[in-house]
Amino acid sequence: MKENAGKPAIGSAARMLGVREPPGRHADVQVGADGRVVVGRAGISVSASIATMPTHLIPDHLRRGHRALRGARALPPLRVWRLADAAFADGPVADKLDLLIDSPTHGVIRPDGPTGLFDYQAAIAATQPLWVIDEHD
Amino acid sequence: MIERSDSFRRYERLLVQLAQAMAARPRDEALCETISEQMDESGFALSREELALANDISGDLYMLESAEVFEPAGMPEPELARRILVAYAQEEWATLLDLLRHHCAAVRRPEVAYIRARAYEQLKAPMTAWAFMDFAAKIDSGNPNLAAMALERRWRAGDIEGAVQESTQALKDPSAAPRLKVIASTVLIRCQRRDELVLADWINALRDALLNEEGSRNRLLSVIAGGYGLLGMLLADAGDNVGSMEAFSRYLRFSGGPGIAGSSRAAVAAALARNTTLSQAAQASLVEMAMQSVESNGSPLIAA
């Protein structure tokens, strides 16, 4: 996510703390006819570690000195963030938010129950103080 | 047999596009961001092994903007050069890719790009193979084979529109290398895009290219043979039976060398004997042979 004053920038655009909303082409979630977020396998993508992130999302200043990050291609102000001490495992990660692991390397932060898009975005934004830059391999 | 997932194929294609966009000067930041955003879905679907390969590809693609991070070799440069030569001779592609991540002045940059193209082709990363061969052709524009091999790889990687566009331009460019024109003709025939050029213009371009290749000190008989085979097909399409038979006769004259398919020779000889046009199977055989003609003669060797 992009950095803003030492914390991830909040917003609904790409590379921000928030989900991209429908009907955008790259929307991270779907909204049902009842106006609620469809709780499934969609949400904010997270990875198990830097080494298991796709290379286009790893800041390019990490290329030097890390064999596994030699192909890093993300330009500033993108940084790599860790959510407090949350484990990479299924379960609650913050108020009203749940982590679903869908592969050994990838998971999504999604609503922990039926909720509207505004409330989901607000719950995500509320986690901003918990995120810290963590760019260790 | 290596199989790549759909996600990897999509990610690899976008990664090459991103690397080329990042290497462009001036850099179009908005384009880079757009491509990067398109990469999220396929990127998060990659396996650990595919993520590692993508990282290697991306790191190597920094060569396009001369920003590659080299690893310490841990051995004297002559030893590194020797190992590269041995691995190249034995076609140990994965080893070569590892060795080339150490800086070795004895291996010229076009050669590094060429070897990477060959290696990534073997590792089933065809867009990357094209990107490196295309880069080799750009930084060693005096080597007529590289541009031809790059075009062939572009087509093989599935960038059909790009290959057709490049082929059309090559056939209209009087200064384009004859070998490139032969491959450009095969691309248009294979893609069934004969309509991209006026047939008469195409025939003239190919005929001139072949005369130039024949007169070249470094001429390749396989290229000339393949080119005359294609010319014969085009002339037959144009209704010039006399010219077609003459082109096929030349094909037979030049196609005695190694690497020329005996089946093509037999088919053409039979058609000539009967004074008929070629069967579709014989035409396909000729096109395939022409496509391979540069490949089998195209490797620049490393001087260490």
Which CATH number belongs to the domain containing residue B214 in this structure?
A: 1.10.3450
Predicted local confidence at residue B135, as pLDDT: 98
Please write down the HEC assignment for all residues of chain B. Answer: CCCCCHHHHHHHHHHHHHHHHHHCCCCCHHHHHHHHHHCHHHHCCCCHHHHHHHHHHHHHHHHHHCCCCCCCCCCCHHHHHHHHHHHHHCCCHHHHHHHCCCCCCCCCHHHHHHHHHHHHHHCCCHHHHHHHHHHHHHHCCCCHHHHHHHHHHHHHCCCHHHHHHHHHHHHHCCCCCHHHHHHHHHHHHHCCCHHHCCHHHHHHHHHHHHHHHHHCCCCCHHHHHHHHHHHHHHHHHCCCHHHHHHHHHHHHHHCCCCCCCHHHHHHHHHHHHHCCCCCHHHHHHHHHHHHHHHHCCCCCCCCC
Residue pair B264/B228 in contact (Cβ under 8 Å)? The answer is no
Do the Cβ atoms of B44 and A26 come within 8 Å?
Answer: no
Chain B residue with Cα closest to A102: B45
Predicted local confidence at residue B304, as pLDDT: 33
Do the Cβ atoms of B48 and A105 come within 8 Å?
Answer: yes
Q: What residues of A are in contact with residue B21 (Cβ under 8 Å)?
A: none
In a domain, B260, yes or no: yes
- Cβ contacts below 8 Å, chain A against chain B, sum to 82
Which amino acid appears at position B271 of this protein? A
Q: Is the ipTM of this complex over 0.90?
A: yes
- Which H or E run contains A120? helix A117-125
Do the Cβ atoms of A14 and B37 come within 8 Å?
Answer: yes
Chain A residue with Cα closest to B14: A56
Residue pair B62/A100 in contact (Cβ under 8 Å)? The answer is no
In a domain, B71, yes or no: no
Q: Which 212-271 residues of chain B touch chain A by CB within 8 A?
A: none
Decide if A71 touches B, using CB distance below 8 A.
yes
Q: Is the model more confident about A91 or about B300?
A: A91
In a domain, B191, yes or no: yes
In a domain, B262, yes or no: yes
Q: Which residues of chain B have pLDDT under 50?
A: 300-304
Q: Taking all residues of chain B, what is their mean pLDDT, rounded to a whole number?
A: 87
Show the domain range for B198.
178-295
Q: What is the pLDDT of residues B38-67, one digit of tens each?
A: 999 999 999 999 999 999 999 999 999 999
Decide if B44 touches A, using CB distance below 8 A.
yes
Q: In what order do the strands lie in the sheet with A106-111?
A: A44-47, A106-111, A97-101, A91-94
Chain B residue with Cα closest to A14: B37
CA B289, distance to chain mean position in Å, is 14
Encoded tokens for B6: 């759909």
Chain A interface mutation, best of B11, B38, B48, B51, highest count of A Cβ atoms under 10 Å: B51
What is each CA distance from B297 to B73, B88, B139, B142, B294, in whole angstroms?
32, 16, 20, 16, 5
Q: What is the pLDDT of residues A34-50, one digit of tens each?
A: 999 998 889 999 999 99
Query: What is the rounded (10 degree) CA torsion for B121, B127, B131, B136?
Result: 20
For B227, residues 6+ apart whose C-beta sits below 8 A from its C-beta are B178, B181, B182, B185, B206, B209, B210, B213, B290
What is each CA distance from B86 to B22, B56, B93, B153, in whole angstroms?
34, 22, 11, 25
Do the Cβ atoms of A55 and B58 come within 8 Å?
Answer: yes
Residue pair B297/B155 in contact (Cβ under 8 Å)? The answer is no
Domains contained in chain B, number: 1
In a domain, B97, yes or no: no
Where are the domains positioned within chain A?
A: 3-130
3 state DSSP class of A46: strand
